[in-house]
């Protein structure tokens, strides 16, 4: 009968022997080297005990003599901090006083500017003698808003930081932090199921509008329709057009842009190929502007409608209810060209709180800003020829501006969205810029842009027949 082999290799001498496992390190040792291993552990324990005793002695010495050199140095630092803190508090208080006084002055100046603007509108209506109930109701509402704002001034307050020993005070502003960033992989919120005319498809979408409920309105260009995708919906629903290509009142032809007047829930459409701006309200249609090469649309806070005209290379403004006249040229209108008083194929537009107009000057590869009443614009993005460098654009399309006056541009042929700060020589890529493609971090000829109220960024990814949502970080 053969004896069973229960020998293993000793970790120390590597000989095949009967071994014993150390529970601490899980290694196998023969009897001799197990004893040696135990002695080494005992030595390490003695060293640890010795270190412990030395540390205990230091603690006792510190307790008996707290005024050592280190403590003395720290006390001196505390004394200096006390003196510095008094100076800082005094300076901080003075800064806050100045901010409050300046804010009060700014508030009064803003109210004065709004009142003067309203007075100018009233004067203009009175001189032109073209007004109706809509005009009067609008002016009455504006005066009410200005009065309410004047009676509730200075939306600022003092914040005390109760977490620190010295309570820090600062002026709280409603402005959002600078330099928002977005997750680079987008979520498809509309389309993305190939090119087609089904309710879950698009055919080269162009413009976009996001309402306060995050519902998405899309100009589904070559399906000749406006489609609304409810928030988180899997399919859209046709709310205008969709009756094939045509120029009847219930038809559209290659619409480029859309806005929703949330006061009366009407839909205003740049019906580009039909050369008209048309309004849909409860499935009833009304042509607002005839014979215009309309592309981009925008509406300011006063209800004025702005339209870019690609043929005349200009942007015009119309009064609410006053679409029978020719409107007023507010940008361009001096022929095709690249001078600061000219535009070359203007597409999308954006109007800020001060009624400044931002125009994607497509074939000049730049974005222009025209202040209210200005005779010429200012280049605020691009303007260095067509290209893909950070100081260039290539056929820009959608343009929007955030609360900090940072300009976002759909750089269509570079397949990226750029952010430019006015006055800077270069922009920066915020999403896209990874080559033309259909991956979640890629774009293909982006067009319209929009934010929702949470600052998520929506991009009309035209070449991919989808709307992409980039979530804010």
Residue 117 shares a structural domain with residue 205 = no
Strands 20-21, 28-29: pairing is antiparallel
Residue 155 shares a structural domain with residue 297 = no
The H-assigned helical ranges of 65-132 are 69-128
**Any domain includes 396:** yes
**Any domain includes 57:** no
CB contact at 8 A, 360 and 411: no
Residues near 23 by Cβ (< 8 Å), separated by ≥ 6? none
Q: How far apart are CA 460 and CA 467, in angstroms?
A: 5
**Any domain includes 73:** no
| Domain closes at, from 144, 173, 202 | 173
Domain containing residue 190: 184-472
Tokens describing residue 283: 């499935």
Q: How far apart are CA 345 and CA 312, in angstroms?
A: 9
**Any domain includes 153:** yes
Residue 191 shares a structural domain with residue 320 = yes
Closest CA to 381 of 395, 371, 372: 395
Residue 9 shares a structural domain with residue 128 = no
**Any domain includes 122:** yes
Instruction: Please classify residue 87 by burial: count the beta carbons closer than 10 Å to its beta carbon, then call 0-12 exposed, 13-18 middle and 19+ buried.
Output: exposed
| Domain closes at, from 147, 173, 199 | 173
Q: pTM of this prediction?
A: 0.64
Q: How far apart are CA 203 and CA 215, in angstroms?
A: 19
**Any domain includes 212:** yes
Residue 142 shares a structural domain with residue 274 = no
Q: How far, in Å, are 28, 30, 45, 56, 150 from residue 11 at the CA level?
A: 6, 8, 22, 37, 86
Residue 240 shares a structural domain with residue 353 = yes
For residue 200, what is the domain's CATH number? 2.120.10.30
Q: What is the pLDDT of residue 174?
A: 46
CB contact at 8 A, 450 and 208: yes
Number of domains in the chain: 3
| Domain closes at, from 151, 173, 195 | 173
The pLDDT profile of the chain, 473 residues, written as one tens digit per residue, is 334 457 889 988 988 888 888 888 888 889 889 899 999 889 988 988 888 888 878 777 766 666 665 567 767 777 777 787 788 788 878 888 888 888 788 878 887 887 888 788 778 777 767 667 777 777 787 888 778 777 776 567 776 664 555 544 444 444 444 578 999 999 999 999 999 999 999 999 999 999 989 999 999 999 999 999 999 999 999 999 999 999 999 999 999 999 998 778 899 999 999 999 999 988 899 999 999 999 999 999 888 999 999 999 999 999 877 777 888 999 999 999 999 999 999 999 999 999 999 999 999 999 999 999 899 999 999 999 999 999 999 999 999 999 888 999 999 999 999 999 988 899 999 999 999 999 999 999 999 999 999 999 999 999 999 999 999 98
Question: Cα-flanking dihedrals φ and ψ of residue 215, to 5°?
Answer: -75, 145
**Any domain includes 71:** no
How many residues in total does the chain contain? 473
Residue 108 shares a structural domain with residue 237 = no
Residue 303 shares a structural domain with residue 239 = yes
Residue 163 shares a structural domain with residue 282 = no
Q: How far apart are CA 35 and CA 402, in angstroms?
A: 75
Residue 245 shares a structural domain with residue 265 = yes
**Any domain includes 425:** yes
Residue 117 shares a structural domain with residue 229 = no
Residue 169 shares a structural domain with residue 216 = no
Q: What share of the chain is helix, strand, coil (3-state, %, to 5)?
A: 25, 35, 40
């Amino acid at each position: 009968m053969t004896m069973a082999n229960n020998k293993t290799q000793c970790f120390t001498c590597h000989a095949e022997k009967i071994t014993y496992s150390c529970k601490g390190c899980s290694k196998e040792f023969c009897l001799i080297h197990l004893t040696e291993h135990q002695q080494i552990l005992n030595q390490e324990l003695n060293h640890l005990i010795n270190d412990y005793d030395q540390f205990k002695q230091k603690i006792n010495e510190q307790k008996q003599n707290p005024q050592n050199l280190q403590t003395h140095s720290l006390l001196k630092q505390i004394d200096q901090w006390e003196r510095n803190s008094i100076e800082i508090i005094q300076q901080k208080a003075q800064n806050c006083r100045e901010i409050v006084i300046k804010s009060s002055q700014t508030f009064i100046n803003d109210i004065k500017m709004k009142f003067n603007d309203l007075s100018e509108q009233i004067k203009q209506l009175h001189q032109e003698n073209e007004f109706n109930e809509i005009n009067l109701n609008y002016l009455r509402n504006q005066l009410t808003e200005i009065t309410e704002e004047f009676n509730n001034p200075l939306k600022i307050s003092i914040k005390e930081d109760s977490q620190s020993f010295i309570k820090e005070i600062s002026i709280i502003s409603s402005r959002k932090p600078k330099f928002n960033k977005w997750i680079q992989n987008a979520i498809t919120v509309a389309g993305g199921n190939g090119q087609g005319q089904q309710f879950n498809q698009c055919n080269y979408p162009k413009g976009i509008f996001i309402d306060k409920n995050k519902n998405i309105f899309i100009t589904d260009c070559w399906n000749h329709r406006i489609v609304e995708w409810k928030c988180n919906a899997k399919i859209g629903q046709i709310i205008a057009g969709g009756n094939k290509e045509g120029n009847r009142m219930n038809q559209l032809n290659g619409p480029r842009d859309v806005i929703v007047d949330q006061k009366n829930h009407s839909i205003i459409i740049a019906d580009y190929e039909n050369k008209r701006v048309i309004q849909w309200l409860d499935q009833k249609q009304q042509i607002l502007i005839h014979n215009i090469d309309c592309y981009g649309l925008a509406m300011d806070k006063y209800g004025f409608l702005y339209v870019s005209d690609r043929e005349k290379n200009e942007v015009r403004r119309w009064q609410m209810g006053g679409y029978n006249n020719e409107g007023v040229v507010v940008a361009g209108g001096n022929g095709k060209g690249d001078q600061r008083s000219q535009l070359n194929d203007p597409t999308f537009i954006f109007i800020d709180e001060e009624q400044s107009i931002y125009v994607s000057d497509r074939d000049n590869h730049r974005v222009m800003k025209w202040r209210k009443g200005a005779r010429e614009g200012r280049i605020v993005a691009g303007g260095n020829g067509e290209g893909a460098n950070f100081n260039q654009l290539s056929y820009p399309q959608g343009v929007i501006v955030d609360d900090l006056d940072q300009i976002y541009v759909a750089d269509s042929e570079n397949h990226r969205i750029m952010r430019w700060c006015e006055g800077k020589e270069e922009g920066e890529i915020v999403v896209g810029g990874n080559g033309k493609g259909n991956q979640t971090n890629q774009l293909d000829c982006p067009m319209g842009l929009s934010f929702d109220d949470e600052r998520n960024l929506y991009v009309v990814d035209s070449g991919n027949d989808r709307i992409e949502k980039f979530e804010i970080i």
